[in-house]
Structure 1
Amino acid sequence: MKLLIVDDHDIVRQGVRRLLSILPDSEVSEAGTVEEGFDAYMREKPAVVVLDINLAGGSGLELLTRLRSADHDVRVVMFSMHADPAYANRALRSGALAFVGKSASADELIEAVKSASAGRRYIDKRLASDMVLNPVEGDPLQSLTNRETEILRLLGEGKSLNEIANTFGIAYKTVANTCTRLKEKLGVERTADLIRISLERITPRAPG
């Protein structure tokens, strides 16, 4: 079974590769950026893609959308530190079959890959419990596009508008206009409020 890991951290890719290599007849390849991930998928057509949200040159959510446009049958496991019900719901709505937080056990990632390869959905246990306790219906974050969500996340990480523009290869004005739309959608007036929302809902906190 061909598998593709797309993550921007070498150490994560190496660890996931070792883990997935225990699966029978597995052939595991890696990519670290949006473009590398897309090219690797189109070249190798793996059975399952294990995809992070944070990527160089864009985001995993945007890569997911591109992959789905190129191959509607692509099977994706989102594997991210952003283990939030809103993020998981967005990924599943965008076409991912599974979502596993990076704090989940190795067994859960293996189970997610097996489920996705069989065309079944899988959400790690802790996140599934959070989704039951904190339903996302009516959550204004769900009205955001994938690009808007990623810009909001980067604001919470302390990135300037110029840095965000460079991350996505877009104009500063495009980012500024997106921030204006974010304020309208989330009912706030200041960029500081966007940063607060990002810190509360999107940007993962360091453990401890």
Structure 2
Amino acid sequence: MTPELSARTVLLADDHAIVRMGFRLLLEGVGVHIVGEAESGEEAQRLAAELRPDVLVMDLSMPGCGGLAALERILARTPAQAVLIASAHADAVTARRALKLGARGYLCKRSPPGELLTAVARIAAGQTYIDPGIAPELARGDKSADPAEALTDKEFHVFLQLARGRSVNEVAATFHLSPNTVGTHLYHIKQKLGVQNMAELAMAAVRAGLIEV
């Protein structure tokens, strides 16, 4: 049994219009009021500040600063904002990072549609939600399988972007940093993860389940 959803307000943040439409149809079908939609991390930050929804349902892989950086900035501005991460990343590494940054819940997009309703209902009621598919692994807290555990939050953001093949200059522009600063982060990332080059850095992300080959 999940708490009542009728009249709750939700902001959707996902760069795929078809995903937002699916979420909207599911949530509006049980009485949720969708107050807005965002396509990027920056837009999610702006709309969350303007609309103050009961729950922000947000993807992690979005243009611009991305979901993790957006999550960090949104909660820095509005610590009480309830955020549900709905991500294609079905791994405990990413979930642990999002929860550490302050997300109230983590839902894998491969889950049955009813799980979205359960997750939003619990978070709107002040509870937390962890996708059942990753909850056991998350509970074990096996840090040996998490090569990014030693990274700071900023290093982790840079690590994900570089592992996906973006250049130092592109990452610098995304996070509004100088290329030299990103280069310093990259040096520390390589030292902490024990990798020598970008190919090994990418493979570390693949082994952790953060990116797909």
TM-score higher than 0.5: yes
Output aligned runs, 1:157-176, within 5 Å.
157-176=164-183
Q: Distance in 1 between matches of 2:212 and 2:141?
A: 19
Which residue does 1:44 correspond to in 2? 51
The answer on whether the counterparts of 1:48 and 1:113 sit within 8 Å (CA) in structure 2 is yes
Which residue does 1:80 correspond to in 2? 87
Q: Distance in 2 between matches of 1:41 and 1:75?
A: 10
Stretch moving more, 85-94 or 130-139: 130-139
Which residue does 2:110 correspond to in 1? 103
Q: 1:71 aligns with which of 59, 78, 82?
A: 78
Which residue does 1:14 correspond to in 2? 21
Which residue does 1:119 correspond to in 2? 126
Q: What is the CA-CA distance between 1:41 and the residue it aligns to?
A: 1.0
Structure 1 residues 87-133: Cα deviation after superposition (integer angstroms, max 9, x where no partner): 11111111111001111111111111111101111111111133246
CA RMSD of aligned residues (A): 2.1
Structure 1 residues 202 and 154 mapped into 2: Cα distance closer, same or farther (>3 Å)?
Answer: farther
Given the two structures, how large is their TM-score scaled by the length of structure 2? 0.87
Check if 1:55 corresponds to 2:67. no
Structure 1 residues 139 and 203 mapped into 2: Cα distance closer, same or farther (>3 Å)?
Answer: closer
The percentage of counterpart residues that share the same residue type is 33
Q: Which runs of 5+ in 1 are unaligned?
A: none
Q: Distance in 2 between matches of 1:63 and 1:155?
A: 18
Structure 1 residues 93 and 133 mapped into 2: Cα distance closer, same or farther (>3 Å)?
Answer: closer
Given the two structures, how large is their TM-score scaled by the length of structure 1? 0.89
Q: Which runs of 5+ in 2 are unaligned?
A: 1-7
